[in-house]
Structure formats: structure tokens, C-alpha cells
Amino acid sequence: MGNTSSLSILAGSPPGISEEDSRILRGLRAGIDEAYEELIQRFHQPVYNVVYRLLGNPSDASDVVQDVFLKVFRSVSAFREQSSLRTWIYRIAVNEAHNHRRWFSRHCRCEVPLESEREDQTHIVELATDPGRSPYDQALDSETRSLIEQALTKINPAFRTAVVLRDIENLSYEEIAEILQLSLGTVKSRILRGREALRRELTQRVDPGFAQAYT
């Protein structure tokens, strides 16, 4: 990395990407130390949170996060800036988490089978755009959040990913579609199914009347 002491000279951003993203990317490509530090400071904790919730193991999550940022650093010159920096990094994080889980599954044979996604897309869109509060939004105390975190590890990984990105990370449907490289209809279907699976799992852990609030 270079010895330039400031990122202020790195101005100008192409359409579709923010000035802040462009500045960091220019710094990374120029080998500026501050750019690497800023990237880690800005994204390390959010990426760890996503990966941890997808894997459910802090040690595994830490290892995967290291791989994520190594891949980001090695691939930054190839990033075409057609999405936000966050979307690109989250896509890498999700893929690395899935790769880790598949590796673990091959060795431990404990992967949850993927369910069919054949749904009436029109019906899915109507249900998935429910303006009501999401399951995670209704978690008002740490005990409840802990229950939800535990329940998340029990639902289908594909649905878990969609729920984590939407209801915990508060990403838009469009961002999630871009991260997962799926259609909006499929994203909304997975979110809907994930919420229902989460509700069923919570029903087994808490009072059924309480779990009903998560529908």
C-alpha cells in the first residue's frame, strides 16, 4: 500500500455509486492505507453481524469475515461499480457464508434441504409487502432477540438469509435481489416463507400467543 496520507484528492464518482463509495474505492485501488482502514471501520461489524446470523457460530463467522475482506481487497480492481459498495460487499459475505456452510454440510451432513419455491408470484408480492412490523422489529428486549437469533439458526438457510437481510439489516427488496442475484418475486417469496418458518419455530420456544405476534 502507498504512503499517501489523505483521501481528499480522490474525488469524482461515476453514475450509480455514491461519492463516499467512489472515494474509498479509488483509495483502495491506489493502495492508500487510510482507504483500507476506513473500509474495515465502516463494514467490519455489519459484515460480521450478517455472517454470524447466517452461520450461528462466532468462531466460524470470524473466519469467514476474514475471507470476505481478503476477497474484497483482491477483487476491488474488478468491481465495476454498478451497485453500491455495501451491496457488493454483502454479496461477497453471503456467498462466502454459503460456501462455508456447504463445506460444513459435506463433512457433517447437517444441511437443511432447500424447499421448492414454486409459488404464485402475484400472491407472494401482495403478502410480502405487508406494511406491518417485521418479527425482528417487534423484539423489544434482549431475551426476545436472543430467542429470535436461536430460531433463525433452525430455519432453511435460503429463507434465513432473506429474512436477515430484510428484517435485521433493513435492506430493500431491490438490494436483496441484487445481493442474492434473484428476481424480486423470489426474494419476496423467501422473505415470506422465512417469516412463517420463524413464527413456527418461535411457537415451539415461547407461548403460542406471543409467537402469533410475529405473523
Which CATH number do you get for residue 199? 1.10.10.10
Q: Does residue 12 belong to any structural domain of this protein?
A: no
- The most confident of 54-58, 97-101, 128-132, 180-184, by mean pLDDT: 180-184
Place of cell 463494514: 43
pLDDT of residue 208: 53
pLDDT of residue 105: 63
Position 96: which residue type? E
**Residues 8-13: contacts with CB under 8 Å, at least 24 apart:** none
Considering only CA atoms, which of 32, 38, 43 is closest in space to residue 65? Answer: 43
SS3 144: helix
137 and 179 share one domain = yes
Last residue of a domain, one of 108, 139, 154: 108
Distances (CA, A) of 177 to 9, 50, 51, 174, 215: 34, 16, 18, 5, 23
The conformation of residue 42, written as its DSSP 8-state character, comes to H
136 and 88 share one domain = no
Q: Does residue 114 belong to any structural domain of this protein?
A: no
40 and 103 share one domain = yes
What total of structural domains would you count in the chain? 2
Last residue of a domain, one of 59, 84, 108: 108
205 and 140 share one domain = yes
Per the structure, the complete domain to which residue 47 belongs is given by: 19-108
Last residue of a domain, one of 85, 108, 131: 108
Kindly indicate the confidence band of residue 130, based on its pLDDT and cuts at 50, 70 and 90. Answer: very low
Q: What does the alpha-carbon distance between residue 80 and residue 135 come to, in Å, rounded to a whole number?
A: 35
126 and 209 share one domain = yes
68 and 153 share one domain = no
143 and 191 share one domain = yes
Instruction: State the pTM of this model.
Output: 0.72
Q: Does residue 143 belong to any structural domain of this protein?
A: yes
Q: Compute the mean pLDDT over every residue in the chain, rounded to the nearest whole number.
A: 79
Is the pLDDT score of 119 beyond 90? no
